[in-house]
């Protein structure tokens, strides 16, 4: 008989985790524990084969190797940040001076419907068409007609000349039209036309200004800042103040500071322009392995991605992969085409783009200082591969400990029971020494 072999009266001896010898257990309990152990092994295999089940703040850093993807299979476009990319984005950044490229000086004031004008007609000698009451004491004739508005047809009326087109014409052009209509009837006629009440050629300044109002356009010309100043200036001259210009159905907006610091945006205003001054705080969102996660204000009218990362606490030294910094943004279709994106598979005017910034490359920090953030941008910093592996090992250890704890509790319970009853059935099996 083998020495040290314990007959457990139908009970089986099993080995614990790590090969430790355990006391003899009933056969039914031993089978149940084997089932639990097999379940643990299967769970570990599932965890290893499907790392997507591990907790994370977003995509893995597999996007850092974006060349491995087939572009047509992605619902977004991927662009690596380079100097050329930054130049394209800077060239296409929306500014008032880039939307309205008219650099001409002040426009001439032209009459419009609703304007009130005065007309004075002169003749070279007495006895002409226009004979005033005191005509006998002066060599020539002149008469000032009553003030009149430009009617809905765009005309004014002059005796003996009939309806004269005024809408869309300057004072000089209306004067020439009156003289041409009277030259065959009056004595060497001359005319002087003046604008009494200017309504058609006005500029509106609305929003958060001192005195929102509509005022006549100046013949000497005014720029955006001049017009805003006439309306009392902005109430909140901070970095969150924006100026929007609407002209002939087109709109463009820029931060108020951009008009101050970039003269190209301070363009001449035109009659019928509408200027709207408003406050719009700019924010961005940071996720992933950054120092802090959440929504952050710009705190300035212009912010680079380097400054944005700094606001979010930089990269977490224990988690982040510096090569896997991503910025999520929707770009206009024409801009995406300039970036080399195949836009055929995207519908609509906005193309979703993920920009990848590699901060393992020292040049990436120079690029980060020039890459301009936009309102509502999203920055995501991915974890390093070692972090994902550590998560997997922790998950496997959790499963192993979950199974091992009830197993050891059951063994301990039977051991204590044997000690309490004084039985010796809990003898450890020794299979290493045998004697014939």
Domains defined along the chain, listed by start: 1-49+384-436 (no CATH), 66-78+282-382 (3.10.560.10), 96-104+202-279 (3.10.560.10), 116-197 (3.30.1950.10)
pLDDT in tens, 227-257: 999 999 999 878 899 999 999 889 999 999 9
What does the pLDDT average to over 390-414?
71
C-alpha–C-alpha distance, residues 47 and 278, integer Å: 53
C-alpha–C-alpha distance, residues 183 and 370, integer Å: 67
Predicted pLDDT of residue 360: 92
CB 171 within 8 A of CB 194: yes
Helix (H, G, I), strand (E, B) or coil at 232: coil
CB 272 within 8 A of CB 202: yes
Place of tokens 């705080």: 281
Predicted pLDDT of residue 185: 86
263 vs 126, higher pLDDT: 263
C-alpha–C-alpha distance, residues 414 and 218, integer Å: 101
Average model confidence (pLDDT) across the chain: 80
Reply yes or no on whether the pLDDT at 407 is more than 90: no
Query: Could you say which DSSP state residue 234 is in?
Result: B
Predicted pLDDT of residue 348: 86
In this prediction, residue 428 has a pLDDT band, given cuts at 50, 70 and 90, of: very low
C-alpha–C-alpha distance, residues 40 and 47, integer Å: 11
Closest CA to 372 of 431, 422, 416, 329: 329
pLDDT in tens, 259-283: 998 888 999 999 889 999 999 999 9
57 vs 315, higher pLDDT: 315
Reply yes or no on whether the pLDDT at 102 is more than 90: no
Predicted pLDDT of residue 409: 75
Directed axis angle between helix 385-421 and helix 27-49, to 10°? 170
- Total-model pTM: 0.68
C-alpha–C-alpha distance, residues 370 and 377, integer Å: 16
Residue 56 has a CB neighbour count (10 Å cut-off) of: 16
């Amino acid at each position: 008989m083998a020495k040290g072999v314990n007959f457990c009266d139908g009970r089986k001896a099993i080995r614990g985790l790590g090969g430790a010898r355990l006391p003899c257990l009933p056969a039914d309990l031993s089978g149940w524990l084997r089932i639990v152990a097999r379940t643990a092994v299967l769970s570990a295999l599932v965890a290893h084969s499907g790392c997507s089940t591990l907790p994370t703040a977003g995509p893995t850093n597999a996007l850092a190797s974006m060349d491995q993807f087939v572009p047509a299979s992605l619902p977004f476009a991927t662009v690596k940040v380079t100097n050329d990319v930054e130049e394209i984005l800077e060239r296409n950044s929306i500014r008032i001076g880039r939307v309205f490229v008219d650099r001409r000086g002040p426009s001439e004031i032209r009459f419009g419907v609703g304007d009130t004008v005065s007309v004075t007609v002169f003749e070279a000698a007495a006895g002409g068409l226009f004979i005033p009451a005191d005509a006998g004491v002066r060599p020539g004739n002149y008469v000032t007609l009553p003030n009149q508005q430009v009617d809905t047809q765009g005309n004014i009326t002059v005796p003996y000349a009939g309806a004269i087109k005024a809408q869309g014409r300057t004072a000089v052009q209306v004067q020439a039209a009156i003289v041409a209509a009277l030259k065959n009837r009056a004595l060497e006629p001359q005319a002087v036309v003046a604008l009494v009440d200017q309504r058609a050629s006005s500029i509106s300044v609305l929003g958060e200004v001192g005195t929102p109002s509509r005022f006549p356009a100046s013949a000497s010309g005014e720029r955006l800042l001049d017009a805003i100043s006439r309306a009392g200036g902005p109430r909140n001259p901070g970095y969150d103040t924006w100026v929007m210009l609407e002209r002939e159905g087109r709109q463009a907006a820029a931060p108020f500071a951009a008009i101050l610091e970039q003269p190209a945006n301070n363009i001449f205003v035109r009659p019928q322009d509408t200027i709207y001054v408003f406050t719009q705080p700019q924010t961005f969102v940071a996720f992933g392995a950054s120092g802090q996660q959440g929504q952050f204000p710009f705190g300035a009218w212009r912010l680079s991605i380097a400054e944005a990362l700094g606001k979010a606490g930089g990269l977490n030294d224990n988690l982040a992969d510096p090569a896997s910094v991503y910025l999520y943004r929707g770009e206009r279709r024409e801009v995406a085409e300039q970036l080399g994106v195949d836009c055929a598979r995207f519908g609509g005017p906005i193309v979703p783009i993920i920009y990848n910034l590699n901060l393992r490359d020292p040049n990436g920090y120079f690029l980060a200082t020039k890459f301009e953030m936009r309102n509502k941008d999203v920055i995501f910093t991915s974890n390093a591969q070692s972090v994902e592996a550590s998560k997997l090992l922790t998950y496997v250890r959790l499963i192993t400990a979950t199974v091992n704890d009830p197993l050891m509790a059951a063994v301990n319970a039977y051991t204590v029971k044997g000690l309490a009853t004084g039985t010796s059935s809990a003898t450890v099996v020794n299979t290493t020494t045998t004697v014939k």
